[in-house]
Amino acid sequence: MRLFVALEIPAAVRDNLAAQINELRDLPGPLAEGRLRWVRPENLHVTLKFIGEVEAAKLEGIRSALTAIGLDAPVGLDFRGLGFFPDERYPRVLWAGLHASGNLPVLARDIDGALEGQGIARDQRAFTPHLTLARFEPRSLHEKLRAAVQKNSEREFGAFQAREFHLIQSKLEPSGAEYRSLAAFPLTLEA
């Protein structure tokens, strides 16, 4: 089974992001020629740790490891702006900006450490919080999309306090990835 750990996004923020995706998707011109693979709005999430393929027998150990993680406060998240990874000259990803409280990287680090004990390798790259809206194939950027992203570089999509994180299963279907939350874990441990 293919797994990852993520924060779910509330409906109000998801609706604002879906409106932005639709605006960009509807730009006239060569954007409709398959250069972008858009993330379906129902699949929008903030990935904390991509686990990848694991045997079903490891699932209980993963759940148990995640249960021990906790913070002193919820994670504050503010979604605003658009941009590209690695850059607009050779884009691979179109993202929505994510400004988070200082405990978000701590949460990602703690998840990484807890899962290492389950035989899941630590991430080699630094945690960079973002929200993927689309992936480029091939890595080229149409001028109309570049202009639209620059126009929306400070657009507000909403904010919220995350109070739980999820272990999610990803099933790759012909219609795209389908996600199912297998377990939810409170962010703050009760005293």
> What residues act catalytically?
45, 130
Sheet holding 131-136, edge to edge: 36-38, 131-136, 93-100, 75-85, 156-162
Helix then strand then coil, % of the chain, to nearest 5:
30, 40, 30
DSSP 71-105: BSSPEEEEEEEEEEES-SSS-SEEEEEEEE-THHH
- Cα 40 to Cα 33: distance, rounded to the nearest angstrom: 18
**Contact present, 176 and 163 (Cβ < 8 Å):** no
CA atoms within 13 A of residue 164's CA, in its CB half-sphere: 12
Please state, in angstroms and as integers, the Cα–Cα distance from residue 14 to each residue in 21, 49, 97, 166, following that order.
10, 20, 13, 17
**CA-based R_g, the chain, Å:** 17
